[in-house]
């Protein structure tokens, strides 16, 4: 009897164990076959059409994004553009602009009485630099006095003749002749005053000042008190340090490939910055070298001081102008393949492409796009991260 009960008890224990294992297996099966979350934004799709070469086995990947999500992520969308180009390295320097340099000379010769400025001193436009005593200046002042006196006499003669003509004493022809003489005398007086003003407005003793035509800083002074300055000789140089530009020497062929507004990536003593081309002059090099001179200005910020050496990478236009280009930040690498994210009605599609040269922040696309697409540019790497996130969720 005892043995019989023991067998029954053992059988019950075995049945219970089987039931427990079955329930546990069912629970594990339910956990393993739980479908992925419905909110996953990334899904795999079959490629559209046939592909060849390196992109044949790369699957098309779609990322669904609403307009609100796109704006919140700060992802910009740009159209694919045309016009391939290259990038040429140039050497250059920072120079003062043409209107920011003044070599101040003496209009008439004379003896230096005083030097009123020193190198490095800031001056304003019209400020005296040097005081001269000039015999030629005194002669100019005398011409003003003589011409003014002659003009006064001519006006008075004309007035007398007109009064006498009203009384019938003189003929009308004399009035007209005196009027012409008065006008001529006035013209001579104006010319004398203009010559004296251009010379520095000398007084009766011939003292005059040579003034700066621009505001800036005195670069150097080439005369001293007691020295004689000849007519046309330079007495000082003034430069405006705030008005400087970039000047690059380029090969002659670049004159036809660089356009106004082209971008230049410049490296200087203070680091890298972007600049825009403001002028291209062919055959403008020194000593008939035939070199092209390219002028540029920074897009923002200030340039280093004049005389600083710089190097630049200028974007040149391609000859055909038919290559497709996208912003370089739009090109991403996914699973070893080069892709751009093309905008669709629901979001973005990772489109495999074959990339070419890079220049000025743009990349040529040799294969994979038709030119009618719009692609994600700024913050396109966020789409790549979302794509990787979606693949990881499907892998579990």
How far is 63 from 352, CA to CA, in rounded Å? 14
When divided into structural domains, the chain yields a total of 3
β-strands 128-133, 216-221 pairing: unpaired
Write out pLDDT tens, residues 121-135.
999 999 999 999 999
Structure letter (DSSP) for residue 81: E
Model confidence at 86, in pLDDT bands (50, 70, 90)?
low
Both 123 and 165 in one domain: the answer is yes
CATH of the domain at 74: 2.40.420.20
Is 3 a member of any domain? no
Both 292 and 277 in one domain: the answer is yes
How far is 245 from 279, CA to CA, in rounded Å? 11
216 CB neighbour count, 10 Å cutoff: 22
pLDDT mean over 19-35: 35
Write out pLDDT tens, residues 311-333.
988 876 554 456 788 888 899 98
pLDDT mean over 365-381: 88
* pLDDT at 354 > cutoff 80: yes
Model confidence at 334, in pLDDT bands (50, 70, 90)?
confident
Write out pLDDT tens, residues 239-283.
998 888 999 988 887 777 787 887 788 888 888 888 888 988 887
Both 116 and 181 in one domain: the answer is yes
Q: Label residue 305 exposed, middle or buried (CB < 10 Å: 0-12, 13-18, 19+).
A: exposed
Is 14 a member of any domain? no
Both 110 and 148 in one domain: the answer is yes
pLDDT of residue 197: 87
How far is 259 from 277, CA to CA, in rounded Å? 7
Among the listed residues 238, 253, 257, the one whose alpha carbon sits nearest the alpha carbon of residue 104: 238
Both 60 and 170 in one domain: the answer is no
Locus of tokens 């692609």: 375
Model confidence at 9, in pLDDT bands (50, 70, 90)?
low
Both 198 and 117 in one domain: the answer is yes
pLDDT of residue 118: 94
Model confidence at 390, in pLDDT bands (50, 70, 90)?
low
Domain that holds residue 200: 102-239
Q: What is the pTM of this model?
A: 0.52
pLDDT of residue 284: 64
Both 215 and 251 in one domain: the answer is no
Write out the DSSP string of 196-242: HHHHT---TT-EEEEE-SS-EEEEEE---TT-EE-TT-EEEEEE-TT
pLDDT mean over 184-188: 94
Residue 6, helix vs strand vs coil: helix
Question: 47 to each of 199, 364, 370, how far by Cα in Å?
Answer: 82, 23, 16
Locus of tokens 């407005």: 201
Both 118 and 235 in one domain: the answer is yes
Cβ neighbours of residue 381 under 8 Å, at least 6 residues apart?
Answer: 329, 332
Of 180, 208, 239, which residue is a domain's last? 239
Least confident of 33-42, 82-91, 365-374: 33-42
Mean residue pLDDT of the chain comes to 79
* pLDDT at 27 > cutoff 80: no
pLDDT of residue 54: 41
Both 223 and 249 in one domain: the answer is no
pLDDT of residue 355: 85
Of 239, 272, 299, which residue is a domain's last? 239
pLDDT mean over 218-234: 92
Both 231 and 248 in one domain: the answer is no
Question: 288 to each of 90, 246, 281, 285, how far by Cα in Å?
Answer: 19, 21, 13, 6
CATH of the domain at 275: 2.40.30.170
Write out pLDDT tens, residues 136-172.
889 999 999 999 999 999 999 999 988 988 888 888 8
What strands lie across the sheet with 234-239, from one edge to the other? 101-105, 234-239, 216-221, 122-123
Both 204 and 120 in one domain: the answer is yes
Write out pLDDT tens, residues 28-61.
232 333 333 323 333 333 334 343 334 434 345 6
Both 194 and 166 in one domain: the answer is yes
Helices (H), the chain: 2-32, 67-73, 135-167, 172-199, 380-394
Is 161 a member of any domain? yes
């Amino acid at each position: 009897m005892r043995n019989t009960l023991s067998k029954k008890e053992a059988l019950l224990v075995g049945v219970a164990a089987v039931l427990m294992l079955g329930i546990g297996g069912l629970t594990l099966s339910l956990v393993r076959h739980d479908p992925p979350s419905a909110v996953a934004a990334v899904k795999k799709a079959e490629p559209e059409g046939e592909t060849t070469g390196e992109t044949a086995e790369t699957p098309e990947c779609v990322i669904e994004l609403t307009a609100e999500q796109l704006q919140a992520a700060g992802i910009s969308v740009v159209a694919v553009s045309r016009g391939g180009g290259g990038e040429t390295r140039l050497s250059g320097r920072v120079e003062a602009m043409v209107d920011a340099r003044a070599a101040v000379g003496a209009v008439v010769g004379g003896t230096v009485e005083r030097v009123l400025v020193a190198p490095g001193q800031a001056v304003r436009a019209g400020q005296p630099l040097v005081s001269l005593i000039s015999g030629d200046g005194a002669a100019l002042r005398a011409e003003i006095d003589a011409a003014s006196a002659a003009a006064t006499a001519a006006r008075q003669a004309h007035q007398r003749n007109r009064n006498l003509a009203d009384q019938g004493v003189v003929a009308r022809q004399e009035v007209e002749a005196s009027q012409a003489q008065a006008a001529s005398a006035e013209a001579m007086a104006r010319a004398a005053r203009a010559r004296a003003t251009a010379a520095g407005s000398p007084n009766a003793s011939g003292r005059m000042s040579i003034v700066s035509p621009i505001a800036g800083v005195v670069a150097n002074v080439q005369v001293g008190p007691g020295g004689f300055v000849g007519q046309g000789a330079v007495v000082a140089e003034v430069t405006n340090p705030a008005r400087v530009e970039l000047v690059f020497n380029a090969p002659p062929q670049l004159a036809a490939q660089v356009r106004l507004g082209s971008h230049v990536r410049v490296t200087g003593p203070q680091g890298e910055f972007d600049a825009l081309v403001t002028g291209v002059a062919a055959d403008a090099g020194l000593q008939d070298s035939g070199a092209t001179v390219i002028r540029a200005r920074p897009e923002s910020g200030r340039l280093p001081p004049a005389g600083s050496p710089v190097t630049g990478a200028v974007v040149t236009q391609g000859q055909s102008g038919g290559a497709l280009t996208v912003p370089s930040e739009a090109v991403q690498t996914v699973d070893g393949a080069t892709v751009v994210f093309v905008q669709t009605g629901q979001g973005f599609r990772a489109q495999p492409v074959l990339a070419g040269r890079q220049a000025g922040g743009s990349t040529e696309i040799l294969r994979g796009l038709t030119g009618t697409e719009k692609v994600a540019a700024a913050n396109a790497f966020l789409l790549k991260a979302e794509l990787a996130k979606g693949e990881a969720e499907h892998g579990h």
